[in-house]
Amino acid sequence: MNRPTKIVCVGRNYLEHARELGNQVPERPLLFLKPPSSIVREGEAIVLPAASDRVEHEGEIAVVIGRTARGVKAADAWDHVAGIAPLNDVTARDLQKTDGQWTRAKGFDTFCPIGATLPLAQVADRGALEVICRVNGQVRQHGRVSEMAFDIPMLIEYISGVMTLEPGDVIATGTPAGVGPLQPGDVVEVEIPGVGTLTNPVQAP
C-alpha cells in the first residue's frame, strides 16, 4: 500500500455510536483528517500519550483509493477503489471534548493502525461488509455497512467533491457503537470478516 497523502475520516456515521456520545447523525458526512504520521501497521504498538487520560478504540472499515478521484459520482465510486482494510481510529476522548475540534485527539503518533489491504476484486460482497473490534479477545464493537448513515459510494462522491483523492489515500468510514478505553497491556483486534484482522498491543508512554 502506498503511503497516503491523507486519511479522511467520517464522524458519527453510525446512529448508535452518535447516540452513545450524545450526538445526532449529521445531515451530511462529517469529515476530519488524521495525519499520515499517525499510521502504524500490524503488530506495532499503540502508544498512549501522557497528555490524555482516556484513549479509546474505534474499529472501522477503511477504503483505500486506487485511482485519482475528483468529482466522482456515487455510481462510479467503486471504480476508484483499490481495496478494503481494517483500521483503528484511536481517539483521545478527553482531548476531543476539551479541544472542541479533533485534530489533536485523533492525530497522535500511533493513533491510526491500519491492516493489509484486500484488493477489491477479492471482496466477496461489498454490501455485506462488517467490522468487529475486540479488546483482549472480548467483542466491544460490531457494525455493518448496512447500518451506515452514508454508504461508501456516497462518501466517495462527497469527499471527492471537496478534495482530490490520490492513489493510496484512505477513507475511514466511521465506527459503530461500543467504543471504550484502552489500557497498557491491552491487545486490540479490528476484524473485517473475509478481509482481514489487524492486531495491535497497547503501551504506556
* Structure confidence at residue 3 (pLDDT): 86
| Beta strand segments in 12-58, E | 30-34, 39-40, 46-47, 55-56
Residue 113 lies in a domain: yes
CATH of the domain at 108: 3.90.850.10
Residue 1 lies in a domain: no
* Structure confidence at residue 16 (pLDDT): 76
Residue 40 lies in a domain: yes
pLDDT at 205 over 80: yes
pLDDT per residue as tens digits for the range 17-64: 657 767 777 899 999 999 999 999 999 999 999 999 999 999 999 999
DSSP run (H or E) holding 65 = strand 59-65
Residue 192 lies in a domain: yes
Please state the pTM of the whole predicted model.
0.96
Spatial CA neighbour of 84 closest among 124, 111, 44: 124
pLDDT per residue as tens digits for the range 2-20: 689 999 999 999 977 657 7
- Determine how many CB atoms are found less than 10 A away from the CB of residue 199: 17
Residue 162 lies in a domain: yes
Residue 2 lies in a domain: no
Domain count within the chain: 1
Residue 99 lies in a domain: yes
User: pLDDT tier at 104 (50, 70, 90 boundaries)?
Assistant: very high
Q: Report the alpha-carbon distance of residue 84 to residue 45 in Å, rounded.
A: 22
Range of the domain at 183: 7-203
DSSP run (H or E) holding 16 = helix 15-20
* Structure confidence at residue 170 (pLDDT): 98
pLDDT per residue as tens digits for the range 140-180: 999 999 999 999 999 999 999 999 999 999 999 999 999 99
User: Helix (H, G, I), strand (E, B), or coil: what is residue 98?
Assistant: helix
